[in-house]
């Protein structure tokens, strides 16, 4: 009888130790209020919501570094994209490079974004009013698309008179 109770107690202790070993006390990444600020950007897109979301991303990066955790996937890339949209191409390239170094699997996509940002940076061109951006990929060295030329009405009227 005594042997049985010893094995029962040992089994219970083993089960407790195993369940405690699997429990995590902290998440792998610090996400801050990312979900909430992103939702607000999508729900009510305005300068205020974008500024709050950018602050949230900056806080995530700062807190992750302070807690010696890896910055969550996509955060550097999203910061780079925000800088790209602000025509801050040097900062955009810096964050795209950080994303690529932190998550090597993102390298092909980040390289395309880096080429795009560098092509704008070199030309000092941002984007057109219709939202067109510089080509990405093998044509990344081309200039950003230009506005269509206005038709010359003098030529069309002179050709119809002849």
Mean pLDDT of the chain: 77
**In terms of pLDDT, which residue wins out, 63 or 22?**
63
pLDDT tops 60 at residue 99 = yes
pLDDT tops 50 at residue 144 = no
Alpha-carbon distance 15 to 12, whole Å? 5
Tokens for 94, please give them.
């810096």
pLDDT of residue 18: 67
Helix or strand run (H / E) with residue 59: helix 47-66
Instruction: Name the least confident of 10-19, 82-91, 146-155.
Output: 146-155
pLDDT of residue 27: 79
pLDDT of residue 145: 43
pLDDT of residue 7: 72
pLDDT tops 70 at residue 127 = no
Tokens for 157, please give them.
């009227």
Query: Which among 77, 101, 80, 102 is positioned nearest to 91, based on CA atoms?
Result: 80
Q: How many helices (H) and strands (E) does the chain have?
A: 7, 0
**In terms of pLDDT, which residue wins out, 10 or 71?**
71
pLDDT in tens, 15-36: 766 666 555 566 788 898 999 9
């Amino acid at each position: 009888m005594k042997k049985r109770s010893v094995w029962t107690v040992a089994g219970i202790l083993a089960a407790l130790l195993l369940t405690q070993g699997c429990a995590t006390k902290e998440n792998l990444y610090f996400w801050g209020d990312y979900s909430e600020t992103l939702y607000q950007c999508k729900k009510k897109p305005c300068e205020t919501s974008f500024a709050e979301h950018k602050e949230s991303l900056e806080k995530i990066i700062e807190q992750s570094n302070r807690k010696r955790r890896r910055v969550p996937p996509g955060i550097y890339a999203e910061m780079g994209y925000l800088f790209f949209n602000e025509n801050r191409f040097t900062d955009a390239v810096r964050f795209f490079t950080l994303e690529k170094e932190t998550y090597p699997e993102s390298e092909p996509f980040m390289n395309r974004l880096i080429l795009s940002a560098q092509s704008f940076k070199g030309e000092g061109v941002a984007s057109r009013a219709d939202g067109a951006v510089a080509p990405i990929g093998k044509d990344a060295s081309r200039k950003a698309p230009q506005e269509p030329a206005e038709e010359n009405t003098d030529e069309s009227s002179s050709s119809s008179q002849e």
